[in-house]
């Protein structure tokens, strides 16, 4: 009886030990995967910065592997990191979803005029298309397009969900049509869409108005609205935007926007004028202050000179 009990206890001890080893291995694998995702994200952002810092107006840049593009001119190339092509040549562009085996996570940066006024020649609207997002350029200038993004959460939490980030410079309001929804934005939005489901628009900063189904909805920062999608291709707006709800931006998407902030074109003319005006105002103020100080100094000098003059003149005696 005792022998059987000892054998049973030994087996239990072995099972506990094996279970502990498996748990430790799982924890190590998860930790390694998390570190791998974080490293992949940082490498992708570094590649984007090194390859797409000098993108011109109405150009698309291949920011990180892999990007698949259907071009109107088959003689053109858009197959490797750093290559650029005029946006008008793009029929469809797809940024690959996260692939841990190949270490791919597609990124493409677009700089567009959209409907920015000609008074802002150095500024562009920036589109960042990433990880599992596909865009059909209907109008040729991306003022009208359809897009989809991968459904569900990414393979790891260290990567942002599939989406398009759109930024207008200096809070300048621009308008474009995505999936039949008129989007008027003055700063930064994040957009995602799933066929026969919904298109979600989240306002990071600034202001935005979404119009569909005969209704316009205004967003404040950290608010999101959803527009139902359907139709023959599942990407047509078939209803009005929902009542905005307050959302907390996930840390990874915030990190993505922060990382590409220096790639957003901002027109410096207004800032330069404002700075020049401020400097001029300060200069005038300083000149005025200096003038007043100089005036006071002159008055003091005059008083001193008058005093010295009075002391040096002897009073005359009256005549006899």
CATH number at residue 153: 2.60.120.1440
Q: Distance (Å, rounded) from C-alpha 105 to C-alpha 57?
A: 24
pLDDT of residue 297: 53
Say whether the peptide bond before residue 66 is cis (omega within 30 degrees of 0): yes
> Can you give the residue range of the structural domain that contains 44?
30-272
Note whether residue 170 is domain-resident.
yes
Specify whether the CB–CB gap between 170 and 266 falls below 8 A.
Answer: yes
Note whether residue 177 is domain-resident.
yes
Note whether residue 142 is domain-resident.
yes
Angle 236-92-250 from CA coordinates, rounded to 5°: 70
Specify whether the CB–CB gap between 245 and 220 falls below 8 A.
Answer: no
pLDDT of residue 275: 38
Q: Distance (Å, rounded) from C-alpha 232 to C-alpha 35?
A: 42
- SS3 labels along 43-97: HHHHHHHHHHCCCCCCEEEEEECCEEEEECCCCCCCCCCCCEEEHHHEEEEEECC
Note whether residue 20 is domain-resident.
no
Note whether residue 23 is domain-resident.
no
Helices and strands of the chain, counted as H and E runs: 3, 16
Tens digits of pLDDT across the chain (320 residues): 556 656 655 655 554 444 443 333 333 333 334 568 999 999 999 999 999 999 999 999 999 999 999 999 999 999 999 999 999 999 999 999 999 999 999 999 999 999 887 767 778 999 999 999 999 999 999 999 999 998 755 568 889 999 999 999 989 999 999 999 999 999 999 999 999 999 999 999 999 999 999 999 999 999 999 999 999 999 999 999 999 999 987 788 888 888 888 887 664 444 433 333 444 444 444 444 445 545 555 555 555 555 544 444 444 444 33
Residue 244: phi and psi, rounded to 5, are -60, 145
Note whether residue 214 is domain-resident.
yes
pLDDT of residue 118: 73
pTM across the whole model:
0.73
Total tally of structural domains belonging to the chain = 1
Q: Distance (Å, rounded) from C-alpha 224 to C-alpha 246?
A: 6
> How many residues are recorded in the chain?
320
Note whether residue 97 is domain-resident.
yes
Q: Distance (Å, rounded) from C-alpha 87 to C-alpha 250?
A: 30
Q: Distance (Å, rounded) from C-alpha 125 to C-alpha 231?
A: 29
Note whether residue 46 is domain-resident.
yes
Contacts of 248 (CB under 8 A, 6+ apart): 222
């Amino acid at each position: 009886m005792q022998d059987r009990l000892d054998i049973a206890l030994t087996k239990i001890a072995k099972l506990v030990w094996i279970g502990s080893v498996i748990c430790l291995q799982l924890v190590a694998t998860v930790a390694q995967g998390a570190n791998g995702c974080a490293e992949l994200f940082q490498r992708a952002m570094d590649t984007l910065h090194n390859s797409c810092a000098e993108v011109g107006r109405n150009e698309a840049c291949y920011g990180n592997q892999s990007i698949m593009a259907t071009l109107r001119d088959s003689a053109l190339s858009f197959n490797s990191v750093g290559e650029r092509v005029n946006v008008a040549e793009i029929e469809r562009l797809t940024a690959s979803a996260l692939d841990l085996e190949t270490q791919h996570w597609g990124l493409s940066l677009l700089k567009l005029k959209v409907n920015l006024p000609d008074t802002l020649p150095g500024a562009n609207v920036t589109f960042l298309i990433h990880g599992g997002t596909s865009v059909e350029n209907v109008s040729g200038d991306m003022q009208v397009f359809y897009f989809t993004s991968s459904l569900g959460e990414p393979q790891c939490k260290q990567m942002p969900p599939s989406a398009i980030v759109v930024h207008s410079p200096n809070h300048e309001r621009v308008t474009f049509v995505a999936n039949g929804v008129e989007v008027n934005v003055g700063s930064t939005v994040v957009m995602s869409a799933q066929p026969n489901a919904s298109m979600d628009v989240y306002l990071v900063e600034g202001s935005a108005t979404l119009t569909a189904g005969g209704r316009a909805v205004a967003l404040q920062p950290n608010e999101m609205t959803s527009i139902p999608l359907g139709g023959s291709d599942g990407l047509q707006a078939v209803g009005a935007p929902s009542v905005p709800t307050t959302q907390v931006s996930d840390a990874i998407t915030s990190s993505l926007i922060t990382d590409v902030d220096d790639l957003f074109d901002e027109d410096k003319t207004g800032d330069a004028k404002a700075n020049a005006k401020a400097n001029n105002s300060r200069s005038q103020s300083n000149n005025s202050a200096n003038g007043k100080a100089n005036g006071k100094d002159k008055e003091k000098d005059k008083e001193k000179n008058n005093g010295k003059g009075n002391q040096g003149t002897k009073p005359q005696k009256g005549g006899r």
